[in-house]
Amino acid sequence: MANQGPAYYSPYPAATYEGVITPPEGKALLLSDVVDEEVAMREIAKVMLTKENATIFPGPQVLYGFNEEAKKKATLIKEMAEVLNAKMIPMYDYRPKYPKIDAEVEINPNHPNLTIWHNNIKAAIFIGVHCHYANVALKIVRSETDCYTIAICGLSGHEDAMATLRDQHSSELEKFIKIAKEVKAELGK
Amino acid sequence: MAIDIYKINPEFRDIMPKEIIDLEENATWAQNQSKPRGIKELPETKEILEEHSLCAGCPEAAALRYVLSALPKPEETIIVNSTGCTSLMFPHIALHTVHSLFGNQNAVASGIKRVLDWRFPDTEKDVVVLAGDGATVDIGLDYTLQSFFRQENITTICFDNEVYANTGGQESGMTPKGQVFKMAPTGKKFEKVKMWELAKTSGCHYSINMTASAPKAVAKAVREAILIAREIGPTYLNIYTPCILEIGLSANEGLGEMKDQDKDRFASYKYISPEAEEFLKKCKAEGKL
């Protein structure tokens, strides 16, 4: 333990210790592979359209209309959910929930696996979740469930997600929706 | 701007739980109120503690509700707290709170207040420190007093339960002489620190020692203290919130204990500096109190 960092105290395995790091600018991450953004977008759309109970978890940065970008992203995420035939379950804040969460309709970063187990979610997009809580939630989900996690991040992405898109703002979301529509048509969904 | 973070985007309204929609629609934010907030808000407000994880009947939970109900502008207030029983409640509050290291709360609050004044020069932002007696008077005494010396524009509220409660009952500086606890079996050897008097001599413009037995009195003191801190300088409230477990009382005996102490160790002490007194008169005339 002496020469190991605080992450070693975590009961959950961290992707960084397996050599997986966030993708460089302009690229995306699919499992441990750095790929072009468009390739990742196609794969994400395919996963969301084919896996059972695909769900989008919007976080506070898009749930609340605190600036114009958040309002615009909200409209796009709604459209994205329709294109991907996905359900939406909000992560509306990060406070621990007592006595227990209603796993049917909400997700909490402190125990996100409960919502995924309860709803049998096999693919999920995290979007608008602040980085530090996305890191916590994704590690727990990665360790405790067989859910394929996708991080659509406005900053540098999350290595603990199975697919990561970085620097995603409203223009990139529009691009993703366009690609998702094409994949949907190809799959005949 | 601050209140916008609670405005739900219309696209997500249908998936948000009722409690969050209630928070948006019914919270008693100051900008939605024609009159000052107060104890009357307690039964309905969403931003005030709805549930808590303290012991059943803990007077601290009641006192925190009184404090929160009396914040002049909750949407523009940052509460800085420290390790202790109070820190168990803050995750349940829909207000801005910052958890600092044990004892550092007044130093952290000083920094936050200065940055807020610099970043939002046209908005009144209140910074309130809320910590227990261990953090305020023992471990953090240096930081507490230094913030008074520096005349920081912050309000410091000490929930004085006279013991380190959630670590099993060790004596604190605020424990009265002779008191025996599980982890202080021979009884305390020296007198309770008169923090409210230290606050006065250290430069506070408003210093009070009271119990939380009377909700309206607590709310009035909190409101006055915050308004004075905003305009004039540091203020201090010492509020007795007994740890009923550590002194061997039942869940329904906390209020009785506070009422008893109203006449004893917590007999009312109130100091207001002349300029603060003048300022309060002005606030009253303007309907801020």
Q: Give the whole-angstrom CA distance, residue A39 versus residue A46.
A: 11
B34 falls within a domain: no
pLDDT at residue B2 in the model: 60
Report the predicted TM-score, pTM, of the whole model to 2 decimal places: 0.83
CB pairs under 8 A between A and B: 56
B30 falls within a domain: no
Interface-testing mutation among A64, A73, A95, with chain B (most B C-beta atoms within 10 A): A64
Give the one of B9, B51, B53 whose C-beta lies nearest to A65's C-beta: B9
B110 falls within a domain: yes
Place of tokens 């061997």: B248
CB contact (8 A) between residue B7 and residue A105: no
- Out of A97-101, B63-67, B270-274, the most confident range is B270-274
Q: How far is B14 from chain A (nearest CA, A)?
A: 10
Q: Give the whole-angstrom CA distance, residue B235 versus residue B122.
A: 22
Q: What is the mean pLDDT of residues A122-142?
A: 94
B33 falls within a domain: no
Between the CA of residue A30 and those of A15, A42, A158, B200, what are the distances in Å? Answer: 12, 11, 11, 62
pLDDT at residue B145 in the model: 98
The pLDDT tens digits for A137-172 are 999 999 889 999 999 999 999 999 999 999 999 999
The pLDDT tens digits for A52-67 are 999 999 999 999 998 9
The pLDDT tens digits for A18-54 are 889 999 999 999 999 999 999 999 999 999 999 999 9
Residue of B nearest to A59 (CA): B12
Angle at alpha carbon of residue A65, lines to A92 and B77, rounded to 5°: 75
| ipTM of the modeled complex | 0.89
Q: Dihedral (C-alpha) A98, A104, A106, A112: value to the nearest 10 degrees?
A: 80
Q: pLDDT band at B1, cuts 50/70/90?
A: very low
Interface-testing mutation among A95, A102, A107, A173, with chain B (most B C-beta atoms within 10 A): A95
B chain contacts of residue A105, beta-carbon cutoff 8 Å: 15, 17
pLDDT at residue A1 in the model: 43
Residue B248 Rama label (left phi>0; alpha psi -120 to 50; beta): left
Q: Which domain holds residue B140?
A: 41-285
Q: Give the whole-angstrom CA distance, residue A56 versus residue A81.
A: 7
Q: What is the mean pLDDT of residues B34-63?
A: 82
Total domains, chain B: 1
A chain contacts of residue B1, beta-carbon cutoff 8 Å: 66
- Inform me whether the pLDDT recorded for B19 exceeds 90: no
The pLDDT tens digits for A78-124 are 999 999 999 999 999 888 776 788 999 999 998 999 999 999 999 99
Taking residue B275's Cβ as centre, other Cβ atoms within 10 Å add up to 13
| Alpha helix ranges (H) inside B41-104 | 59-69
- Inform me whether the pLDDT recorded for B185 exceeds 60: yes
A chain contacts of residue B9, beta-carbon cutoff 8 Å: 62-65, 70-71, 74
CATH number at residue B128: 3.40.50.970
Place of tokens 């359209």: A49
CB contact (8 A) between residue A98 and residue B53: yes
Q: How far is A174 from chain B (nearest CA, A)?
A: 16
Average pLDDT taken over every residue of chain B: 91
Q: pLDDT band at B161, cuts 50/70/90?
A: very high
Interface-testing mutation among A92, A102, A132, A177, with chain B (most B C-beta atoms within 10 A): A92
- Inform me whether the pLDDT recorded for B269 exceeds 60: yes
Interface-testing mutation among B1, B7, B14, B15, with chain A (most A C-beta atoms within 10 A): B15
Q: pLDDT band at A2, cuts 50/70/90?
A: low
Q: pLDDT band at B30, cuts 50/70/90?
A: confident
Q: What is the mean pLDDT of residues B46-50?
A: 71
Q: Is B18 an 8 Å CB contact of chain A?
A: no
Q: Is B21 an 8 Å CB contact of chain A?
A: no
B240 falls within a domain: yes
B151 falls within a domain: yes
CB contact (8 A) between residue A64 and residue B4: yes
